[in-house]
Amino acid sequence: MTAAAFENVSKIYATGWSRRRGTQAVKDVTLEVPQGVVFGLLGPNRAGKTTLVKLLLALGRPTEGAVNRLGRPASDVSTLAQVGYMHENQHFPRYLTARELLRYYAALTLMKPESIPARANELLALVGLTDRADEPISRFSKGMIQRLGLAQALLNDPDLLVLDEPTEGLDLVGRALLREVIAGRKAKKKTVLLVSHVLSEVEQTCDRVAVIVNGSIVKDSSVADLVRDPKTGARRPLEDALRPLYQGGQP
């Protein structure tokens, strides 16, 4: 069973006042994310990464093709209880405290009520917010909100953790914490889907990557193979491997 699978997936968003025109966000995407790996989804801006994530999380339906999540169609919402999602820009109720927010989201994930307080405390400690747990989120910096978003995404110990630009606003310590969390998920045979423009983080954490450009997958390989120079066999920076792909050429 794969953690995520896209089979000949296309998505066209209707545009214009008549809704008769359309913008193609992704076209004929076939991609598998194996279980138990850290998988990077890379590409330039407006390449289709966010659309694929939305389709995976059942926040939209493909125009064509099929999307599976944890062995079931993405439309089967029962598997969402096994998914954690961290958005690039968190929009939490700012009047809640960090502890209240985690308890609220834990209830939404149908966790047993008696287990919620201990789980919230555990995650607050993990992301370094124990001393700020009872302050309103309105006092939090961008980095603190990102840490809280990571804790929220981990509440249900998900089999599939989707991280969309998770380093946004994080300092060096926060990024190191994120890498530790990702390594911990992998050690537990859990799957992480990482969407990021921070190539140093991708290179350090990911096992495989897929590159999407103009709505189509142009590369799907291990990180080790991608950074190996095809002419010399020497290791090269990930940026050098990706630049020609982003520009529509060959790696």
Residue 246: helix, strand or coil by DSSP? helix
pLDDT tens-digit series, residues 219-240: 999 999 999 988 888 899 999 9
The answer to whether the pTM exceeds 0.85 is: yes
What would the DSSP string read from start to end of 136-164?
Answer: BGGG--HHHHHHHHHHHHHTT--SEEEEE
CA distances from 94 to 98, 136, 140, 142, 199 (A): 9, 6, 9, 12, 31
Query: Which domains are seen in the chain, by residue range?
Result: 4-246 (3.40.50.300)
pLDDT tens-digit series, residues 28-45: 999 999 999 999 999 999
For residues 115 and 91, the answer to whether their CB atoms sit within 8 Å is no
pLDDT tens-digit series, residues 163-189: 999 998 899 999 999 999 999 999 999
Q: Can you list the positions of beta strands (E) in 43-186?
A: 64-69, 72-73, 83-86, 160-164
Q: Residue 31's closest CA among 55, 63, 13, 61? A: 55
